[in-house]
Amino acid sequence: MKSLKGIGLLIISNILIYLTLSITVRVLVNMVLPAFGIDVRGAFSQELLVWSLVIGFGGAFISLLFSKQMARAMLDCTQITQPRTHAEQVIYGSVQEIAERLQITMPEVWVYDSPDPNAFATGPTKNSAMVAVSTGLLANLREDEVKAVLAHEMGHVFNGDMFSTTVLAGLMNTFVHYISNFVYQMVAQPQGDREEGQSGSPILGFVVYIFLQVVLSVLAMLVISWHSRRREYAADAFSAKVYGKESMIKALQAIDRWVNRAQFEYTTQDALATMKISGNTSGFLHLLATHPPIEERVAALERL
């Protein structure tokens, strides 16, 4: 019943997004642009909009549907089905306890080999998810801190963050594909040239197309990264409700100590991994960070 409800919400959301895009583009083409002396009404393509939606949302949702399989394929990981050690019992038992409390299907529980203290959750729905923790997390955090991190990941699962991020990514992909192809068609063969039987500038159109793909993709990443940072705060708050904010604060501080030590010991080695965990970036890179800085997350927890 819950899966059917999820499918229904997916269909409704896609219909609403399609209608919103259709109305927005039509208002822009038929009213806004002509008011500024720009007439592209003959160039508007409903077929291009539909195709952009298929490309944009199709790729995003295919990635979501196979997210668990792709995660397992990319990592050296082992599934825990029957805990054999105390550490495995802590991981499995915590996920099981939270799942029962939330009345959702028990996610798959995995441990993957990696020195950085990290964890993630993925899966198409909250009732078909997986939670994975790194060996580095188990080695560097205490038991209560590991449980807090697991509660954080379960917060992502329960809040439906994977689904909402996929919808946002699909929407951004649609805009990138539609705008870049729309401009390409305008430059490669403008409406006037088509009516007079003349050719446009395909080479220039291709250059503009590539330029727009890059620029619009970066702008789309800004929106997606902003959403990702917001959901991290929500998952932290969820963990605080489950095990108390002090445990999550201590977990974040332990991760921060590892990041600082790793950066000191290895200088630039694996700098991307430490940046991803800590969110400690500056300037423009801060806008592309998927996680807020740890000190900001700690401050947000202390305000709860």
Catalytic machinery residues: 153
Half-sphere exposure of 294 (CA within 13 A, CB side): 19
**Which amino acid belongs to residue 84?**
R
Rounded to whole angstroms, what are the CA distances from 87 to 106, 114, 203?
18, 16, 60
Tokens of 247: 């445990």
Concatenated DSSP letters of 220-279: HHHHHHHHHHHHHHHHHHHHHHHH-HHHHHHHHHHHHHHHHHHHHHHTTTTHHHHHHHH-
Tokens of 268: 């630039």
Residue with tokens 């499995």: 92
Question: Is the dihedral angle over the CA atoms 198, 199, 204, 210 positive or is it negative?
Answer: positive
Is the distance from CB of 106 to CB of 127 less than 8 angstroms?
no
Residue with tokens 């550490």: 87
Q: Give the C-alpha separation, 25 to 40, whole Å.
A: 11
3 state SS of 56: helix
Dihedral-angle region of residue 105 (phi above 0 means left; psi in -120 to 50 means alpha; beta otherwise): beta
Burial of 123 (0-12, 13-18, 19+ CB in 10 A): buried
